[in-house]
Amino acid sequence: MIGQLGQVELARCLLCGRGGGHRSVLGGLLWRCESCAFSWTAAGSPPPEELYDESYFRGEGYEDYFLMGPRRFESGRRLRWLLSVARPSSLVEAGSAGGFFVEAARRAGIAAQGVEVSESAARFAVERLGVPVRVGCFEEVAPVRSVEAVCAFHVLEHVEEPREFLRAARDALVPGGWLALEVPNIGSAAARRLGDAWPHLQPRYHRWHFTPESLTRLVTDSGFEIVRQDTVFSRFYWQRWGRLANARVLLVADWVASGSPRVSHPRLGDAIRLVARYDEAGAVA
Ligand SMILES: [Zn+2]
């Protein structure tokens, strides 16, 4: 199945189901549905065990997932966002990479565990950070009806089938449980300005390209109710601005686009973050 999806997806839009009427965009890198504007990468992908080897986490995928300082800073910000909306006592993070968010959550008293497809990343989390991480594909090894929150930061754009992933997330939750997602925003000011040079496009790794509208539709279609959603600019997660040569340029450009120096925006930031809730009683099957 993996590797053939590019072709399969040309026939039917994952989001609205429309067959045909898809437009080739960004020089043929993506297809965009003319009906609902959802986008996906035109080329197929190699299997995840080939794609997410150590080189991906060591920088080839665009940043180093094992840098202690920046990763702890980023994880702390994500945890504060989650805790500003929900108070879970347990959680599982799908795609836990080096394990820093699991570590942050455990330090906050949450019974947190990770699931990670990369064996080397999981080993780092277990051996260096001492946190529990299971190696495997989340859709296959997710816990069943036992956690109060499922978190997945920059994961949904990588998975083979987002609806299957969200079904597994729903099945992992106790009734009333929370889903916390973050994905790149192809509708962001920077994505529109930079086109195929937008650093979060990553067509080799990202199969699906979300906007706030398409992510909302997918999540609510899967039986969740959106509790909070906004976007953040890349700079929200930068720990040390001085090291980033283009920080000033990006800040000014985002400021011009959004009319504000704030780090968050309802639609124009580089990453969409969302917290949703699954209530079995009112859920869609
Ligand atoms: Zn569509």
Q: How far is the CA of 32 from the centre of ligand 1 (A)?
A: 8
User: C-alpha dihedral over 71, 75, 77, 81, to 10 degrees?
Assistant: 160
182-192 pLDDT, tens digit per residue, is 999 999 998 99
Q: How far is the CA of 19 from the centre of ligand 1 (A)?
A: 8
Amino acid at 247: A
Listed range (26-30, 140-144, 278-282) with the worst mean pLDDT: 278-282
Rounded mean pLDDT, 11-28: 89
pLDDT for the residue numbered 64: 67
Mean pLDDT of 174-181: 97
Query: What's the length of the chain?
Result: 285
pTM of the model: 0.88
Q: Give the pLDDT mean for 75-93.
A: 96
pLDDT at site 57:
67
Q: Are the C-beta atoms of residues 230 and 205 closer than 8 Å to each other?
A: no
Q: How far does the centroid of ligand 1 lie from the alpha carbon of residue 36, in Å?
A: 4
Q: How far is the CA of 192 from the centre of ligand 1 (A)?
A: 20
For residue 137, name the pLDDT band (cuts at 50, 70, 90). very high
- State mean pLDDT over 100-113: 98
> Is the confidence at residue 16, as pLDDT, over 50?
yes
Question: How far, in Å, is the centroid of ligand 1 from the Cα of 37?
Answer: 6
- The encoded tokens of residue 176 equal 């009333």
Q: Is the pLDDT of residue 63 over 90?
A: no
DSSP character at residue 279: -
Q: At what angle do helices 100-107 and 68-85 cross, to 10 degrees?
A: 50
For residue 101, pLDDT over 80 is answered with yes
Question: pLDDT tens digits, residue range 228-283?
Answer: 999 998 877 877 665 556 667 667 767 777 777 678 888 999 999 999 999 876 55
Per-residue pLDDT band at 116 (split at 50, 70, 90): very high
Phi/psi at 53 (5° precision): -85, -175
pLDDT at 6: 44
Q: Which token pair is 201?
A: 């496009």
Least confident interval from 83-87, 221-225, 257-261: 257-261
Instruction: Strands of 71-189 (E only): list them.
Output: 90-94, 111-116, 133-135, 147-153, 173-184
Report the mean per-residue pLDDT for the chain: 87
Fold classification of 45-282 (topology level) = Rossmann fold (3.40.50)
Give 180 Cα–ligand 1 centroid separation in angstroms: 24
Ligand 1 centroid, distance to 130 Cα (angstroms): 43
Q: Strands 30-33 and 90-94, how do they pair?
A: unpaired
Residues with CB under 5 A from ligand 1 (ion): 13, 15-16, 18, 33, 35-36, 38
**Average pLDDT of the residues in 136-144:** 95
Q: State the distance from the centre of ligand 1 to the C-alpha of 117, rounded, in angstroms.
A: 29
**In the chain, domain spans:** 1-44, 45-282
Query: In this predicted structure, what is the pLDDT of residue 90?
Result: 98
pLDDT recorded at residue 285: 42
Please list the residues that pair with 265 across neighbouring strands: 231
Q: Is the pLDDT of residue 210 over 70?
A: yes
Phi, psi at 235, each rounded to 5°: -65, -20
What is the predicted pLDDT for the residue at 60? 55
pLDDT over 70 at 1, yes or no: no
Mean pLDDT over 66-87 rounds to: 92
Closest CA to 44 of 3, 94, 105: 3
Of the chain, the percentage scoring pLDDT greater than 90 comes to: 63
Q: What's the whole-number mean pLDDT along residues 9-15?
A: 78
- Ligand 1 centroid to Cα of residue 218, in Å, is 11
| 268 CA to centre of ligand 1 in angstroms | 21
Provide the percentage of residues in the chain whose pLDDT is more than 70: 85
pLDDT higher than threshold 60 for residue 82: yes
